[in-house]
A and B are shown apart, each in its own frame.
Chain A
């Protein structure tokens, strides 16, 4: 194994190096393997290997637990794109846009309030962040109870004021709306806290100068604050899209059959473990999901690179 060129070029005196240095090198080699090896091995086996195996599995007509599988080429992909793709991808798109947009807009509004020096803002900040760390299963159960068309507190209140009670669980569109509301409730505080950090790192002089020039709060927001927040907005956009594309627990608990809430990420689970046992088809969906996640991550990497260049 020859050394990495960057190390070689940064150390031109390799040949005249005293003996203890080369034993140190050998010692470091083994130390590195011992210290970092297990983690790397685990990641290769449980993250890299599945991504590659998915490609292979996705070409098979294969029932989970069955010893035999039939090679069907791109059959699974063709089945998806000529079948449920339109519906599933549309649901995924609506869910992602609604949850990302909802939690970012509301998070920004909350951050603007939290940024004012008012009594109790730090307590409110903690409260807002709390749902983000709670079990999605627990949260899903609580909201399932609240939305229950007969016994839910929301329905009881709506009936009290003589408003119609929406059929949250049987109307597919309302199911998706409901899931989005709960997801936004859980993630709003995360966006607020990150926007708040962005607001607090903003140069105070700029705002003061604008205020002296007679710009009102709304104009100051649109022309100064919001543009200055654009790195934060971009960061949040990427991270919330990535987390929305992995949403599982709330959907599984509140709408286990995926009625109206069959997103790509939920379909991966449902096809393999929801009673169909279609391992090959599920792997094809997982591959599509991975490509989607990779494209978004690469976008982020490119942006971060550019930010480093211009700053």
Chain B
């Protein structure tokens, strides 16, 4: 009797695991993975595989034609370098600035510090759309259209990193810094020799999230550049999409999508712990 009942619940559990566990897991994974897989496969197809209206799963012939065509329409290596430059310079400055700001907010005495933090936090509430026209007028007036600094400068003020670093610094034991101060260490030494090394995981988190955001940034670079030699990858892809009116050009567009998506996907695969924790910060304290 008992063994029978046990095997009954056992079977029910297996069925339950499959129906309410593995099946949705597989479906969810496929829903995410298939479009990306389709993008990669299509980018290696010859144009003929697309125009047939038949379902061609794998390329009939693996080819990098789409990539070369895309490169002849827009200068892909140049776009890639532009994006890399804007990302590296922008993210480095943002990281540095948010680190020093958070240090100042937590460890340096200053009158009216309580008012300053909200002033910084408001930046989180002002998306690119809201500041679009005034920033465009300002940057255009300074001659920043179609320049790297014109793309980078308006986004440099940063609240996200400042906020994360501040939270982390507040959790540090004050004694370490007081001891260093007694030893005669100035603020720079304290920040870069003591605070920064113990905050390495938070630095990695902020750096990665900032890099991804800079790389994907679209609205501002789109508005401030129209020269193909300065624009970033997402803006260049818009140009590619506009010039490729021909329907058989989907492999070319997919090649473009691969170039902008895959670097972030690789970064995410290896360093997702930091990226996920940075992007979900504040939800669970």
A contact residues vs B (CB 8 Å cutoff): 1-4, 6-7, 24-25, 28-29, 31-32, 35-36, 38-51, 53-54, 57, 64, 109-110, 113-114, 116, 118, 120-121, 123-124, 126-139, 141-146, 148, 150-151, 153, 156-157, 159-160, 185, 189-190, 193-194, 197-198, 201, 232, 235-236, 239, 245-246, 248-249, 252-253, 265, 268-269, 272-273, 279, 282-283, 286, 289-290, 293-294, 297
Which A residue sits closest to B208, measured CB to CB?
A133
Decide if A50 touches B131 in the complex (CB within 8 Å). Answer: yes
How many chain B residues touch the partner (CB < 8 A)?
A: 97
Interface flag for B172 (CB, 8 Å) = no
Provide 13 A-B residue pairs closer than 8 Å at the C-beta atoms, listed in order of the A residue: A4-B111, A24-B109, A31-B104, A44-B119, A47-B131, A54-B133, A118-B25, A141-B241, A144-B253, A198-B284, A246-B128, A249-B219, A289-B130
Residues of A within 8 A of B100 (CB): 35-36, 39
Distance, CA A178 to CA B164, complexed state (A): 35
Q: Which residue of A7, A144, A290 is within 8 Å of B126 (Cβ)? A: A290
Sorted from nearest, which 8 A-B pairs have the closest CB atoms?
A42-B157, A50-B131, A50-B134, A43-B157, A35-B104, A36-B104, A137-B234, A32-B110
Q: Which of B3-11, B32-40, B59-67, B199-207 contacts A (4 or more CB under 8 A)?
A: B32-40
- Interface status of B1 (Cβ within 8 A of chain A): no
Known: A28-B109, A41-B157, A151-B51. 4 other contacts (CB 8 A): A121-B25, A127-B32, A153-B55, A185-B32
Q: In the complex, what residues of B have CB within 8 A of residue A145's CB? A: 38-39, 42, 250, 253-254
- B180 cross-chain contacts in A, Cβ below 8 A: none
Whether the Cβ atoms of A40 and B120 lie closer than 8 Å is yes
Q: How far is the CB of A30 from chain B (nearest CB, A)?
A: 10
B contacts with A: majority SS: helix
Question: CB distance B261 to A110 under 8 Å?
Answer: no
- Please name the residue on chain B nearest to A197 by beta carbon: B284
Across-interface contacts of B268 in A (CB, < 8 A): 126, 130, 133
Which residue of chain B has its CB nearest to the CB of A272? B133
Contact flags B113-130 to A (C-beta < 8 A → 1, else 0) = 110100110110111111
Beta-carbon contact of B254 and A269 below 8 Å: no
List residues of chain A with CB within 8 A of the CB of B21. Answer: 113, 116, 118
On chain B, the residues within 8 Å of A131 by CB distance are 32
Is the pair A109, B24 in contact by a Cβ cutoff of 8 Å?
yes
Task: Name B residues whose Cβ lies closer than 8 Å to a Cβ of A.
Answer: 17, 20-22, 24-25, 28-29, 31-33, 35-36, 38-39, 42, 50-51, 53-55, 97-98, 100-101, 103-105, 108-114, 116, 119-120, 122-123, 125-138, 153-159, 162, 187, 191, 212, 215-216, 218-219, 222-223, 233-234, 237-238, 241, 247, 250, 253-254, 256-258, 260-261, 264-265, 268-269, 272, 275-276, 279-280, 282-284
Partner of A32, one of B108, B238, B258: B108
Q: Which residue of B lies closest to A195 (CB)?
A: B283
B130 near A51: Cβ-Cβ < 8 Å: yes
Residue among B54, B111, B136, B241 with most chain A CB within 10 A: B111
Docked-complex contact A124 and B280, CB < 8 angstroms: no
Asked if residues B157 and A293 are in contact (CB atoms below 8 Å), the reply is no
Residues of A within 8 A of B114 (CB): 4, 6
CA of A132 to CA of B223 in the docked complex: distance in angstroms? 23
> Are the C-beta atoms of B223 and A273 separated by less than 8 Å?
yes
